[in-house]
Amino acid sequence: MSFTVGIVGAGPAGLLLGRLLHRAGIDSVVFENRDRDYVEQRQRAGILEQGTVNTLRAAGAADRLDRLGIPHDGIDLVYDGAAHRVDFVELTGARVWIYAQTEVVKDLIALRLADDLPLLFEAEVQSITLDPPMIHYRHDGQPHTFSCDYIVGCDGFHGVTRDLVPAPVLSRSFPYSWLGILVDAPPVHHELVYAHSRHGFALASMRSPTISRLYLQVPNGTTPDTWPDDRIWSELTTRLTPHTPNEGRITAKSVLPMRASVRQSMQQGPLFLAGDAAHIVPPTGAKGLNLAAHDVTVLAEAFTHLSQTGSPELLDAYTETCLRRIWRAQHFSNTMTTMLHISPDQTEFETQLQLSHLHHTTTSPPTTQSLAENYTGTTPL
Ligand SMILES: Cc1cc2nc3c(=O)[nH]c(=O)nc-3n(C[C@H](O)[C@H](O)[C@H](O)COP(=O)(O)OP(=O)(O)OC[C@H]3O[C@@H](n4cnc5c(N)ncnc54)[C@H](O)[C@@H]3O)c2cc1C
């Protein structure tokens, strides 16, 4: 069977789906409302599960990842001023990879353009119709319409496609946000550090051996200009103890709200949702990018099955196939978030519960194993 898929959004979900469909011989067109430079520079996630790495390798999109990605075999959990290592490889046989979302996106764009496949930047999708499937967009100052057989909404949390799937959205918000900075300095530690502190949560991550990515829990409504560099370094030093941050030039500062939401159906007729268009997880579990990659892997297999057999059975089962992993990631991300952050009205009783939870997580082998499985995406589903 031959058909064409219109993909809205050139984030990791849309670009990876386009790549997987191309490898399966299925035509697609990708519409992206921002310009190429913006999409390639947008700072977001940076941790890839082994499953995501495997997908990128199988898609022939991992040459740079295999050269520049940094494998991590564990993380440090810090509480009460002491560090406790969780060894993923020993517990699960799996590891994770540090490779920035910006690099994943750059790789996929370069491959798509090298293959001379349609990818329209500065093409804002304004609406879509489902019967028949049509994408209405503005490009070069003109309105256009693109007819296709299927539409996939990969346009993130603020896109136009998600509200066309009339399903309940289950969500929660958190009473805090993250201030994220990018720093020209070597990482704090050779692995990621997740720190519980009475001053609030801190995370020490990295983008490369010379670029650090650091986060501080801040109150909702915070703007980056209320955090001068000195204040950031002072808080990081306090919260990350016993680790010490390496100070350097801060090249980016932004505030990231913490949200969780799941649309209980990811499809409506010829429209499918993938990635942040369908669900948002708080970033504490490092799952957003990995879930997006998983959704489009399932969807690409379903389109491939349709093209090879004419049967829509896998497409019909798309939501059900994805939701189990999405809710597992949601549970893990929520658990990590509430275990590590200090709520504005938190009592000492609740702080002691968090410390007990952290102690249990780092000393009870089955509980440590559970964290390792969830973090690496190897939990049986
Ligand atoms: C601001 C932000 C910061 C984040 N930081 C972290 C982090 O630090 N750590 C972490 O683990 N995770 C983080 N995440 C989560 C992770 O980056 C996302 O889960 C991931 O980007 C999901 O990929 P996606 O392709 O589904 O959506 P996106 O990456 O959001 O891509 C959607 C694309 O659709 C385009 N688009 C939107 N509307 C239209 C339209 N009408 N027409 C055409 N194109 C459109 C957008 O421009 C964008 O390129 C962050 C997410 C956000 C939003």
- Domain match, 279 and 248 both: no
Which residue's alpha carbon is at the smallest distance from atom 4 of ligand 1?
Answer: 44
Q: What is the pLDDT of residue 306?
A: 98
Q: What is the pLDDT of residue 381?
A: 86
pLDDT tens profile 355-374 = 999 999 999 999 999 999 99
Enter the tokens of residue 264.
């209980």
- Domain match, 57 and 154 both: yes
pLDDT tens profile 196-228 = 999 999 999 999 999 999 999 999 999 999 999
Centroid of ligand 1 to alpha carbon of 203 (angstroms): 20
Give residue 124's domain range: 4-70+96-170+260-335
- Here the CATH number for the domain that contains residue 227 is 3.30.9.10
Q: What is the pLDDT of residue 166?
A: 95
Full-model pTM: 0.96
Annotated active-site positions, please? Answer: 72, 194, 283, 287, 375
- Domain match, 230 and 166 both: no
Ligand 1 atom closest to the CA of 13, numbered from 1 = 25
pLDDT tens profile 318-330 = 999 999 999 999 9
pLDDT tens profile 282-310 = 999 999 999 999 999 999 999 999 999 99
Q: Which of 44, 212, 263, 291 to mutate to test the pocket of ligand 1 (most atoms within 8 A of CB)?
A: 44
Report yes or no: 125 and 160 within 8 Å, Cβ to Cβ.
Answer: yes
Q: What is the pLDDT of residue 43?
A: 86
Average pLDDT, the chain: 97
Report whether residue 160 contacts ligand 1, using a CB cutoff of 6 Å.
yes
Centroid of ligand 1 to alpha carbon of 8 (angstroms): 12
- Domain match, 212 and 354 both: yes
- Here the CATH number for the domain that contains residue 137 is 3.50.50.60
Matching residue, tokens 């990659």: 293
Number of domains in the chain: 2
Instruction: Give a yes or no: residue 186 inside a domain.
Output: yes
- Domain match, 192 and 320 both: no
What average pLDDT score do residues 244-265 get?
A: 96
Q: What is the pLDDT of residue 151?
A: 98
pLDDT of 259 strictly over 90: yes
pLDDT tens profile 23-43 = 999 999 999 999 999 999 998
Q: What is the pLDDT of residue 281?
A: 97
pLDDT of 241 strictly over 90: yes
- Domain match, 25 and 103 both: yes
Q: Which of 52, 102, 155, 216 to mutate to test the pocket of ligand 1 (most atoms within 8 A of CB)?
A: 155
Report whether residue 204 contacts ligand 1, using a CB cutoff of 6 Å.
no
Report whether residue 156 contacts ligand 1, using a CB cutoff of 6 Å.
yes
pLDDT of 380 strictly over 90: no
Q: What is the pLDDT of residue 1?
A: 86
- Domain match, 273 and 165 both: yes
- Domain match, 100 and 207 both: no
